[in-house]
Each structure stands twice: as C-alpha cells, then as structure tokens.
C-alpha cells in the first residue's frame, strides 16, 4: 500500500501534528491526494516555541488552519515524576485528549507521523498509540525517515532537512522531577546555542549543570566560543559542561 491508496481508504481524519519532518510530509501528502485531514497541535511545556511556529507556518503554507489544544502535561503525575515509562504515559495522555477533541469535531480516525524507521523498543509511546487505535500511515506504507526526507526535498518542503528534535523532557535524567522552570531554562539555553550557530545539539541537565552534546564537527567552534557560551548561559546554569562524546 502507498499513501495515495491509504487516503483513498481513509479520506477524512485528524492528524497529531508536530511540524517535524514526518508529520509535515504526511499532511502534505494528504492534501495532494485530496483527503480531508485536519492538523491538531497539542501545545505543552515539552515543546519549544520554535516547534509551534514551524507547525503553524507549515499548515499555513498549505492553506490550512492549525487547531491548537493547550494541555498542562505537568499536571499528569505519571509524566512529571519522570520514571522510565514517562513517554508511554505522555503519549497516552496527549492522544487521549486529541482523540476526544477530534471526535467532537467529527473525525473518527486519528493519525500520527510514526515512520517505518521508528523502533518500538526506542519509542514506548508507540504502545500507547496502538492502544488508542491511532493509525500511522507512513509506517503502514513502509516509508523510512530517509525516504521521507528525500520526498520532502523533492516537493520543496522546508522541513526536509529539519533536525530530529525530541521533546524537552528528554533533556532531564530519568527519575528527576520535571518542572516548568527547568524546562524553560533548558529551552533558553538551547536558544542561545542556536543563535551562536550550533545545530543538531542537546542541552541536558546533569546534576544541576548544563551538559552540551554536539556533533563532533562542532567541537572546535564550541571551544572557540567558550567565553561567550559561558556568559550567555550563566542566567540559566551556573556550570556548563561539554560532553566529549559526539551526539
């Protein structure tokens, strides 16, 4: 089965939309094949502001309105306590809410952007999607991440080379309570590094310090910009570490 065949069978659906490479291509394909697919963005403290902006921009580029659902994810104790199964409980809460709203809006099928490269062992949230009967067309049609990027580039989608961006909660060690204040500090620190020209990096909380993880080719730049990095991250973290293992 390919996406055209999928959308001929499922001509109307709601999409859990993040604005990333996968969900963006899926939304684009749905439009191209004449399906009525409505993008829903569940906005929480786990997503940085630029992700929300990208999602809105992409939807608007297709002439669509992005439906935004505000959700206090930290109000879910199974999520905020940050145990090993946090991703499962988070995905379950997000898509339960999305499904409820979509049903009220007249959509009986829910889609997400999981692709054929995603490993269930690395993504416990996929179990929650299965339990909620969420469909994953990219996975069902055998489209890998590499193929989705290739097709997105071919169609001129600005998301084609967008780096993979896991939610901000992944920057906090398992077992450490997730708070809004800590998420905001991490987001601000990552915004600083982005403004300094760094790409595809992470700022992780490590015993109160900011641990920066970079691709190996950016190590030299980090050393050259050491003083500026320390100065500009000082409002958010007193100590800054560079992880010598490449990201």
Question: Could you tell me the residue ranges of all domains in the chain?
Answer: 3-154, 179-242
Q: Cα-Cα-Cα-Cα dihedral of 94, 75, 127, 7, to 10°?
A: 0
Global confidence as pTM? 0.92
* Phi, psi (deg, nearest 5) at residue 165: -135, 100
pLDDT for the residue numbered 163: 86
Cα–Cα distance measured from residue 181 to residue 195, given in angstroms and rounded to the nearest whole number = 21
Pick the CATH number of 3-154 from 3.20.20.140, 1.25.40.10, 3.40.50.620, 3.30.450.40: 3.40.50.620
Give yes or no for a contact between 1 and 141, defined as CB atoms under 8 angstroms apart: yes
**What is the distance between the terminal CA atoms of the chain, rounded to a whole angstrom?**
35
pLDDT for the residue numbered 231: 97
Mean pLDDT, the chain cut into blocks of 10 residues (247 residues total): 97 97 98 97 95 96 96 97 95 97 97 91 85 97 96 97 90 97 98 96 96 96 97 97 87
| DSSP-derived 3-state class of residue 181 | helix
Cα–Cα distance measured from residue 226 to residue 55, given in angstroms and rounded to the nearest whole number = 33
Fold of 179-242: Alpha-Beta Plaits (3.30.70)
pLDDT for the residue numbered 123: 79
Q: Enumerate the β-bridge partners of residue 203.
A: 212
Q: How far is residue 17 from each of residues 13, 50, 157, 199, 213, measured CA to CA in Å?
A: 12, 14, 15, 23, 27
Give yes or no for a contact between 222 and 229, defined as CB atoms under 8 angstroms apart: yes
Give yes or no for a contact between 166 and 20, defined as CB atoms under 8 angstroms apart: no
pLDDT for the residue numbered 118: 86
- Assess whether the region 3-154 and the region 179-242 belong to the same CATH fold: no
Cα–Cα distance measured from residue 217 to residue 85, given in angstroms and rounded to the nearest whole number = 33
């Amino acid at each position: 089965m390919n996406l055209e065949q999928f959308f001929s069978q499922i001509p109307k659906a709601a999409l859990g939309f993040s604005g990333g490479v996968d969900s963006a291509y899926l939304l684009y394909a749905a439009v191209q094949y004449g399906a009525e697919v409505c993008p829903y963005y569940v906005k929480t403290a786990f997503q940085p502001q630029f992700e929300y902006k990208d999602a809105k921009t992409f939807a608007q580029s297709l002439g669509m309105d992005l439906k935004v659902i505000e959700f206090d994810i930290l109000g879910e104790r199974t999520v905020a306590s940050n145990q090993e199964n946090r991703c499962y409980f988070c995905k379950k809460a997000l898509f339960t809410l999305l499904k409820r709203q979509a049903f009220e809006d007249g959509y009986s099928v829910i889609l997400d952007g999981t692709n054929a490269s995603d490993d269930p062992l690395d993504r416990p949230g996929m179990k929650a999607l299965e339990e909620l009967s969420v469909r994953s067309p990219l996975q069902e049609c055998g489209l890998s991440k590499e193929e989705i990027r290739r097709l997105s580039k071919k169609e001129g989608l600005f998301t084609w080379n967008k780096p993979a961006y896991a939610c901000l909660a992944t920057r906090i060690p398992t077992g450490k309570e997730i708070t809004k204040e800590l998420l905001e500090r991490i987001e601000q620190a990552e915004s600083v590094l982005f403004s300094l020209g760094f790409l595809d990096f992470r700022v992780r909380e490590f015993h109160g310090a900011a641990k920066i993880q970079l691709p190996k080719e950016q190590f030299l730049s980090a050393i050259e910009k050491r003083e500026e990095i320390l100065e500009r991250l000082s409002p958010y973290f007193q100590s800054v570490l560079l992880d010598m293992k490449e990201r």
